[in-house]
Amino acid sequence: MNLWIKTVSFISLNLFLLIGCTFRHEARLYDYETDSVIPIKAWVRGFQTKTEAVLPTGEHCKGESVSGGGDAETWGEIYSYGYRSNSTSWAAIPPSQRRVMMIVCERGITFDCEYIITTPSYDVQGHGMCRDNGGKYYRLIF
């Protein structure tokens, strides 16, 4: 019984810390057509990720990110644009490492992103691609 109580207490404490703590990350969105770099700030709290960005025009954007990234048949359409020479099967990338992010800006620009987390922890590192609603692609690095 004591072991059960200690185990439940340990799990509860870790969940409390995980859900109660906010971790901040920064990413960069590189425009292929110009030399613009768009900084993205992300806050992870529990299982939610909220993002903010400011375009070079001063336009403010907000969004969110989720893990899983859909199934292997749909995930990778945007990501593969920047990694065409890579023969990796998207099905081989674990769903725990696939992410999707949507960012919506004040004046109607949207970014749909697919990326991979290479270090799935709170010291996140990764890379991917984004496409805006005008069909323009961007490299995402964090």
Tell me the mean pLDDT in the region 90-119. Answer: 84
Q: Would you kindly state where each structural domain of the chain is located, as residue ranges?
A: 22-141
pLDDT of amino acid 17:
43
67: Cα within 13 Å, side-chain hemisphere: 16
Q: Does domain 22-141 have CATH number 2.60.120?
A: no
* CA neighbor of 124 nearest in space, from 10, 27, 8: 27
Tell me the mean pLDDT in the region 5-18. Answer: 46
What does the pLDDT look like over 22-33, one tens digit per residue?
667 788 999 988
pLDDT of amino acid 26:
86
- pLDDT at residue 85 tops 50: no
* CA neighbor of 141 nearest in space, from 11, 42, 28: 28
pLDDT of amino acid 109:
95
C-beta of residue 59 within 8 angstroms of C-beta of residue 106: yes
Rounded to the nearest 10°, the torsion over CA 104, 110, 114, 117 is -40
